[in-house]
Amino acid sequence: MSAELTATSGAAVFGATSTTDDVLDGMDLRGMRVLVTGVSAGLGVETARALAARGAQVVGAARDLAKAQVATEVVRDAAANGGGLTLIELDLASLASIRAATDALHAQSDLFDVVIANAGVMASPFGHTRDGFETQFGTNHLGHFLFVNRIASLIRNGGRFISVASSGHRYANVDLDDPHFERTEYEPFVAYGRSKTANILFAVEFDRRHRARGVRAAALHPGGIKTELGRHVGQERLDGILTQINEELAGQGKPPFEWKTIPQGAATSVWAGFVANADEIGGRYLENCHVTTRITDGYISAISEGVRPYALDADNAKALWMKSEELVGESF
């Protein structure tokens, strides 16, 4: 990465309401090559747009290329200073699709400065991927685990891997004895929590394994945003969650909860990838464009910052890595 991208932001302080354009204001990303998964909607599209608008060449991965082609018109319209977008097919719920996509990327042999694992599903009904993994763990974690590890050598020395996780990791630690709910009663948000904890742990161990060549990894919570990700969450449950949040806020004398906009939600991804100091974020969990300092087993409200210790535990991360290698049938 260029020197300007490894320096700390210093002059600017960003937060929960910062947008991608705020974070990248004045930056020139010409010559940078970035891979973003999940560019058929929401945060992935906005991330790609903000980067291409500043000259980055973006490779966008999506399961449904026809949908992605339409959704990313805004990216092509915004591209400037040599920036652009190329789409590749990637179904994270299929090991065969992942292997085909990574083989194609290796055939091109072009290096990436930043890889942003953005795609995912949330609170889906019980089901399995094509390879028999529980849908959320298989798609959100194992899919990205195999994909990113297979292209790890294509991440340029000094590059970064950014894993889009969630505060939803607080619902549950990973369960390496029963990852596919074969003996545990399935609960959609518990499964989501397991997969998001796995996203964080993956970044922790990836960072440890690659930091010697200057590649750093971090995981992040983008915030509460209305995107297609929430399509499986019923309105009744959502209303109940919002009522509880607003009652808590009212008790503290604070105004009601407000959703982040999509540009605000994608801001932490681009901040982590292109603005933040690499050594400060490596192996850490990020929220609202800064490193989360609250690591606690105690109470955390639904809208407060904080990360569970199990999500950053080095031994937990190593154990998940070994289990994940076993499940996907490849060692890295």
Q: How confident is the model at residue 125 (pLDDT cuts 50, 70, 90)?
A: very high
pTM of the model: 0.91
User: pLDDT by residue (tens digit) across 287-332?
Assistant: 999 999 999 999 988 778 999 999 999 999 999 999 999 999 999 9
- CB contact burial 279-304 (16+ within 10 A = b; e otherwise): eebbbbbbbbbbbbeeeeeeeeeebe
DSSP H or E stretch at residue 217: strand 216-221
Q: How confident is the model at residue 237 (pLDDT cuts 50, 70, 90)?
A: low
Residue 186, burial from CB neighbour count under 10 angstroms (0-12, 13-18, 19+): middle
Terminal Cα-to-Cα distance of the chain (whole angstroms): 24
DSSP letter (8 states) at residue 182: S
Q: How confident is the model at residue 261 (pLDDT cuts 50, 70, 90)?
A: very high
| Residue 186 annotated as catalytic | no
Q: Is the pLDDT of residue 230 over 60?
A: no
Query: Catalytic: which of 171, 192, 285, 299?
Result: 192
Q: How confident is the model at residue 4 (pLDDT cuts 50, 70, 90)?
A: very low
CA distance 276 to 289: 8
* Residue 7 confidence (pLDDT): 35
